[in-house]
Structure 1
């Protein structure tokens, strides 16, 4: 694949990922296929575009910036386990301050759970995933890929903060942030069973990534 093809795929990736940040487009699609349908369709599209983007980076002209080291792989394994746990503890949970929250009306800022640690846990997971993958992928295409994705995730926090603050109003947004910041950094879960199941789901997701990586991405990780 040429650099032109790589740039084209990158552009298509960002174009599709701008949909949630455009309320008019998002609301129109949600009205057409329903909120659940939109979430499912967008999740499938996002995963497909990310896979295509990674595939294209692996086929772009190879320009090595630094060689892979044996410890890189171990660092990625440990960090990806943490990433999977962050996502498992946050996906499908109430979080009115970020995107993707479920049942936001029942969110209790005095018991925010992982939102106390990461206001935008999905973006934190994406930034961590991208940053970790810079280590063993020291060629120019992958450095561009993972650096831009990490920057996209970090910058996305400010964009979502501004949109949520505008939607909720200054007073409500500031109040929520204030109450959340006063909650214990790590608190007793409301349900130990739910916590255990989510942790188990994160570990299973990590194992699945290890198994599927060579088939989906084409690179073995163990």
Structure 2
């Protein structure tokens, strides 16, 4: 029982740290004291620490098996995680007025928006894909609750952000910007800068594969 209580307590802490700091009045106060970059750095570090604590807490909960790993799970997870790393590398730090994680959003060009034309919230798409793949890989109750909730969080988040941006930007301006990015969807030869980003995504993927058994204790290639 204590394992479930620990798990529930850390989950409550997770939602508190991911809802309170981004409320407009609270966020404005924090940004005023920390600066925009300081807030982003502190919030990212806090999120990673709480996520690590949450994964640890799931491991402390009683083991209740819901399904066993199937032969196709591992290949699907490896391919899916490579896609997640490439999306992350292509989008992180790029101007993106639609979602969080953007940088220099005033410089956003809807006629040359890259991956933003296909997904307005690429970081949340990465989180959703990561969570779904880990639900597949971990068929016990605690980890299904963990990764399933994170996946739901990533699914609902874009709708909340879109509603807020639509209100703040004005419905007409928001829809015009969305429409312009959608019209730019086309297959293009990646620029040298994007090739570097994708290469970094591949390196990140290899690092994760190498470190997974060291940090998490579970090999991904066996």
TM range, smaller chain: over 0.9
Query: What residue is the counterpart of 1:130 in the other structure?
Result: 131
Q: CA deviation at 1:218?
A: 2.6
Change (3 A) 1:101 1:176: same
Q: Which runs of 4+ in 1 moved over 6 A?
A: none
Secondary structure of the residue aligned to 1:17 is helix
Matches within 5 A, 1:39-188: 39-188=40-189
Q: CA deviation at 1:99?
A: 1.1
Q: CA deviation at 1:71?
A: 2.5
Q: Distance in 1 between matches of 2:20 and 2:88?
A: 21
Q: Name stretches of at least 5 consecutive residues in structure 2 with no aligned partner.
A: none
Q: Judge conservation of contact 2:118–2:185 (CA < 8 Å) in 1.
A: no
Q: What count of residue pairs does the alignment treat as equivalent? A: 220
Q: TM-score, normalised by structure 1?
A: 0.94
Q: CA deviation at 1:185?
A: 3.5
Matches within 5 A, 1:183-202: 183-189=184-190, 192-202=191-201
Q: Distance in 1 between matches of 2:69 and 2:137?
A: 5
Alpha-carbon deviations, 1:7-58, whole Å to 9, x = none?
A: 1111111111114541111111111111111111111111111111111112
Q: Distance in 1 between matches of 2:186 and 2:42?
A: 34
Q: Name stretches of at least 5 consecutive residues in structure 1 with no aligned partner.
A: none
Query: What residue is the counterpart of 1:4 in the other structure?
Result: 5
Q: Distance in 2 between matches of 1:204 and 1:60?
A: 33
Alpha-carbon deviations, 1:119-166, whole Å to 9, x = none?
A: 100010000000011112000001111111111100001000011111
Q: Judge conservation of contact 2:125–2:154 (CA < 8 Å) in 1.
A: yes
Q: Distance in 1 between matches of 2:182 and 2:131?
A: 27
Q: Distance in 2 between matches of 1:19 and 1:86?
A: 27
Q: CA RMSD in A?
A: 1.4
Query: What residue is the counterpart of 2:37 in the other structure?
Result: 36
